[in-house]
Amino acid sequence: MKAGHLLWALLLMHSLWSIPTDGAIRNYYLGIQDMQWNYAPKGRNVITNQTLNNDTVASSFLKSGKNRIGSSYKKTVYKEYSDGTYTEEIAKPAWLGFLGPLLQAEVGDVILIHLKNFASRPYTIHPHGVFYEKDSEGSLYPDGSSGYLKADDSVPPGGSHVYNWSIPESHAPTEADPACLTWIYHSHVDAPRDIATGLIGPLITCKRGTLDGNSPPQRKDVDHNFFLLFSVIDENLSWHLDDNIATYCSDPASVDKEDGAFQDSNRMHAINGFVFGNLPELSMCAQKHVAWHLFGMGNEIDVHTAFFHGQMLSIRGHHTDVANIFPATFVTAEMVPQKSGTWLISCEVNSHLRSGMQAFYKVDSCSMDPPVDQLTGKVRQYFIQAHEIQWDYGPIGYDGRTGKSLREPGR
Ligand SMILES: *[C@@H]1O[C@H](CO)[C@@H](O)[C@H](O)[C@H]1NC(C)=O
Ligand SMILES: *[C@@H]1O[C@H](CO)[C@@H](O)[C@H](O)[C@H]1NC(C)=O
Ligand SMILES: *[C@@H]1O[C@H](CO)[C@@H](O)[C@H](O)[C@H]1NC(C)=O
Ligand SMILES: CC(=O)N[C@H]1CO[C@H](CO)[C@@H](O)[C@@H]1O
Ligand SMILES: [Cu+2]
């Protein structure tokens, strides 16, 4: 075999055995930290502009008392640091709430997560949407792995682990996909409880050439990039429930953890950990390109229909104004807001909307708004009056299938 052939054979073997990573290596230093979180820092229902004293629904979630925790809870979250000393925290936008920092990478890149656990229980970091081997999965389950392949499954208090995730072509956004796909990461020792405790954050994987060279990198294809988690955060499942009862209830001994009303008061109908319009600073410019990365998590209750009042969204090539979000569903929606103003985002599920799953977003006219599309059609007028009527749901008076009367009691 000639030297040239040998080299080719070696190169071929190399490319078969390893995922080609022609892109950047993106290092993230994440610390797992305990913190106190307030679901309603403005202390009122911002949607109705009512104080808690005037709002019995909001106060049932937000007011602490004898056997009520109120709006603040101890949580455990991911925080980002500038390097492996974990001393200098990197700031993130206020609207991210308690979510972990945004992780982003392009096709061909490697993400190295230097995770250190500063909290009091074992946790991990487990991603969706990227390639990893068994030493970087971050999920505890009986997969037959052992030794160093197990170290990622549970990082003890004080411990650390480096997770290696990559974005090969097999995981790339397709031609038809938007430039960046929406994903998440979360702790996965006991996933439902770890996530309810606060360990979740956003991740995007982008087509080549989407991110610029800044630190943190900015997207070149859109002007604004937002991430919203729609979830009824069940604080009953948090590892800190007992702590929260002891800290925030004025008579902890009177708490019955099995009481339905107590449990309901701990189910926070939140967007990024904010309820009743407390989500701050979601502002953007009219006529600019906005990417909304929407995701759900949680339980059967977590069926959300996120309605963006006043603007049109594009999802998978279709126009809509409502995004459907289920647990572990990741939606990428694009918007070019047309009209400035303060607009509502609300989950259209009745009980969720009433329980506070609403926020405002603000569209500013940063430059001269060009006129909205030139209209060339007709003016169609409708004259509509609101009426009170008597409505009969069963006008024929009997069950059309069985023939039995609907009017006789007991039939
Ligand atoms: C909310 O109510 C307060 C006091 O009741 C009032 O001063 C404030 O202007 C109101 N804010 C809005 C946006 O209506
Ligand atoms: C709250 O309720 C009190 C008493 O019912 C009333 O005087 C006050 O105007 C209300 N405040 C708001 C902001 O509606
Ligand atoms: C990360 O994993 C990829 C393959 O999955 C490998 O090619 C690369 O060398 C690894 N990088 C580091 C720094 O461990
Ligand atoms: C720690 C604890 O008691 N958690 C309870 C919270 O409420 C749920 C029901 O929604 C129970 O299953 C948990 O055991
Ligand atoms: Cu909802």
Q: Which residue has the higher pLDDT, 90 or 17?
A: 90
Pocket of ligand 2 (CB under 6 A): 50-51, 54
Instruction: Give the distance (Å) from ligand 4 centre to CA of residue 241.
Output: 9
pLDDT for residue 372: 64
pLDDT for residue 13: 45
pLDDT for residue 178: 94
Using the predicted structure, report yes or no on whether residue 335 has a pLDDT greater than 50.
yes
**Of the ligands numbered here, which is closest to the C-alpha atom of 305?**
5
**Cis before 173 (ω within 30):** no
Using the predicted structure, report yes or no on whether residue 6 has a pLDDT greater than 50.
no
Q: Which residue has the higher pLDDT, 367 or 308?
A: 308
pLDDT for residue 262: 96
Contact 173, 181 (CB under 8 A): yes
Instruction: From 191, 324, 198, select the one nearest 268 (Cα to Cα).
Output: 198
Regarding the beta carbon of 19 and ligand 3, being less than 6 Å apart is answered yes
Q: What is the pTM of this model?
A: 0.89
CA distance 398 to 411: 10
Regarding the beta carbon of 299 and ligand 4, being less than 6 Å apart is answered no
Q: Give the atom of ligand 2 at the shortest distance from the alpha carbon of 50.
A: 13
Instruction: Return the residue whose CA atom lies nearest to atom 4 of ligand 2.
Output: 54
Instruction: Return the residue whose CA atom lies nearest to atom 6 of ligand 4.
Output: 236
Using the predicted structure, report yes or no on whether residue 362 has a pLDDT greater than 70.
yes
**pLDDT, tens digit, 9 for 90 and up, residues 155-184:** 999 999 999 999 999 999 999 999 999 999
Instruction: Give the distance (Å) from ligand 4 centre to CA of residue 261.
Output: 12
Mean pLDDT of all residues in 104-108: 96
Counting ligand 3 atoms within 8 A of each CB, the residue from 25, 110, 134 with the most, and so the one to mutate, is 110
Using the predicted structure, report yes or no on whether residue 5 has a pLDDT greater than 60.
no
Using the predicted structure, report yes or no on whether residue 316 has a pLDDT greater than 60.
yes
Instruction: Return the residue whose CA atom lies nearest to atom 8 of ligand 4.
Output: 236
Regarding the beta carbon of 21 and ligand 3, being less than 6 Å apart is answered yes
Regarding the beta carbon of 355 and ligand 3, being less than 6 Å apart is answered no
Instruction: Return the residue whose CA atom lies nearest to atom 3 of ligand 2.
Output: 54
Q: Which residue has the higher pLDDT, 366 or 85?
A: 85
**pLDDT, tens digit, 9 for 90 and up, residues 179-194:** 999 999 999 999 999 9
pLDDT for residue 48: 93
CATH class of 3-364: mainly beta
pLDDT for residue 375: 83
**Of the ligands numbered here, which is closest to the C-alpha atom of 51?**
2
